[in-house]
Amino acid sequence: MAVIFVPGKGRKPVAWAILSIFADKSKTVKFRTVVLLTLLILIADQGVKFWVKTHFYIGKEVNVMGSWFRLHFIENEGMAYGWKFGGDMGKMTLTLFRLFAVIFGTFYLQKIIRQGYHKGFIICATLIYAGAIGNLLDSMFYGLIFDNSDPYLQNTARLFPPHGYAGFLHGKVVDMLYFPIITDAHFPKWVPVWGGEDFEFFRPVFNIADASISLGVILILVFQKSFFQKKKQDFHSTVETSSTVNDEVQVS
């Protein structure tokens, strides 16, 4: 197992270090930490997307680690993992929703940092926030700064062409991460609806922004008891006395 060096504590497994972040309630997260984490995710997400857009034509696929981890370039007009949402009007609605979510997220992160929320929850909220920004940038600007990639001519998109492939707010989200760990399998015939059909895990193609959002949501669900544990109220015992209490009697 990989290890990291923690000053004064020797070497600890990476998994232990990650879990300790969500278990430790004593430390607070500063706003600059949230900004740094957001920037790191955005740089990674947009860097990979720019590289894929300018080096792959749509549909091109290369193996990264065997056949179970591939780069497979697709574009989608909808939500995470290629889910779609109702044509041009749906695309516009989804982009505006992402924009509203990012604006709301900015103020919400400031609030939970100020109020000293659990460190792990703030980090998870930051992962979701950064992922939302990553896909929002695609939707807002990619139609303006890229031209089309043609899978038939196998040409790659150009950056900053004379004319982009779509207008403002109508860009397509770039996906490329593909993990078909289980292939050439079939659902048993007794399975309702999908019985006998092909089965593949993991079928969706996604990007770093999608992964960041999913990781944040999953960690919140796993550690919700730690994140939202109510503070124990202090109960003070009362002193019972049979003595008369008035302005002239002192109770010790």
Catalytic residues: 175, 210
DSSP state of 26: S
Q: For residue 2, what are the contacts with CB-CB under 8 A and spacing of at least 6? A: 13, 14
The alpha-carbon radius of gyration of the chain (Å, integer) is 26
Task: Give me the torsion for CA of 89, 144, 80, 149, rounded to 10°.
Answer: 110
Dihedral sign from CA coordinates of 135, 136, 139, 143: negative
Please work out, in degrees rounded to the nearest 5, the angle formed at the alpha carbon of residue 102 by the alpha carbons of 157 and 95: 50
* 132 within 8 A of 212, measured Cβ to Cβ: no
Q: How many CB atoms neighbour CB 50 within 10 A?
A: 16
Which amino acid appears at position 92 of this protein? Answer: M
